[in-house]
Amino acid sequence: MLADWVRQVGGDRVQVASLLTGNEEPHTYELKPEDVKAVADARILFRVGLGLEDWLDPGIENSGNRKLVVVDAATGISDIIGGGEHQPNRQSPLVGNPHIWLDPELAKTSIDNLTQALVKADPAGETLYRRREAVYFVRLDSLKSAIAAELSGLSDKRLISFHDAWPYFARRFGLDIVATVEPIPGQEPSAREMARLVDLIRQQHVKVVTSEPQMPSSLPDMLAKETGVKVVVLNPLEAGGGYIETMRADADSIAAALR
């Protein structure tokens, strides 16, 4: 989604290279030599921050690019949800849940951080950047309104998420995430924890558990087999279709499952 945002704002004045395609697990990605080369050639590195891309730090150091401007999408967002998966480090002093992009309103703050960096690096393009940003913000407002309308009529808004990616989305659109299968990415729950989830689903009649293509796991299907809960695949990352399109598809999937 970061690369899509850069293209939306920068248009033909920017050349964008994305280290991830959207199909990888962003918490544990391992840099390749070509990634370090891309960092070495870049003027601006746009990342989420909040410790999500700690794996980038060695690449930044090894690139030798002393003029690189690193822009954190989370900068200036004051309502970061706590209980994040990451601890602060030298590069990312903030701490909290990093999945801010799943709230279209917070996305606007992130995009403005990018726009400011583009204007500073390329003052001649300021008029274009500001105009394109304004146009995209209108589209984000429409997205937010459309998702809110789609989800507002649901009588049951409870679900279990596979990992802790959706609290910003849930807060914005009034969903209730009652539990998480894998609170820490890559750390599977114990048998006792899985049994608690089964009991929770049965006792509270939870209808939906999510899964994610970037984090394949048999656990949601195990819960479905045990309890009859519906498994819904959600994509927290844009993988070629565009941020707005991906968000709409996720909202459609959630609404259909909870009806």
Average pLDDT over residues 123-146: 98
Residue 86's pLDDT band (cuts 50, 70, 90): very low
CATH number of 153-258: 3.30.479.30, 3.40.50.620, 2.60.34.10, 3.40.50.1980?
A: 3.40.50.1980
pLDDT tens across 93-130, in order? 456 899 999 999 999 999 999 999 999 999 999 999 99
| Pairing assessment for the beta strands 69-72 and 230-233 based on DSSP bridges | unpaired
Nearest 5°: CA angle at 18, between 138 and 78?
50
Using 50, 70 and 90 to split pLDDT, how confident is the model at 175?
A: very high
CATH, range 2-147: 3.40.50.1980
Percentage of the chain lying above the pLDDT 90 cut: 76
pLDDT tens per residue, range 22-41: 777 778 888 999 999 999 99
Mean of the pLDDT values across residues 164-184? Answer: 93
What is the CB neighbour count within 10 angstroms for residue 52? 23
Quick one: pLDDT band at residue 237, thresholds 50, 70, 90? Answer: confident
Binned at pLDDT 50, 70 and 90, residue 187 comes out as confident
| Residue 46 C-alpha from the chain's centroid | 14
CA dihedral 22, 79, 73, 185 (to 10 degrees): -30
pLDDT of 212 above 90: no
pLDDT band for position 214 (50/70/90)? Answer: confident
Q: Which two tokens stand for residue 131?
A: 């105009």
For residue 217, the model assigns a pLDDT of 82
pLDDT at 206: 96
Cβ-Cβ contacts under 8 Å for 206 (sequence gap 6 or more)? 158, 159, 160, 178, 200, 229
Q: Is 150 helix (H, G, I), strand (E, B) or coil?
A: helix
- Indicate if the pLDDT at residue 91 is higher than 50: no
142-165 residues labelled b (16+ CB within 10 A) or e (exposed) = ebbeebeebbeebeebbbbbbbbb
Most confident residue range from 84-88, 137-141, 213-217: 137-141
Listed residue (68, 142, 71, 69) closest to 104, CA to CA: 142
When mean pLDDT is compared across 38-47, 50-59, 118-127, 169-178, the lowest value belongs to: 50-59
Q: What is the pLDDT of residue 61?
A: 92
Confidence of residue 83 (pLDDT cuts 50, 70, 90): low
Segments making up each domain of the chain, as ranges: 2-147, 153-258
Same fold, 2-147 and 153-258: yes
Q: What is the mean pLDDT of residues 152-180?
A: 94
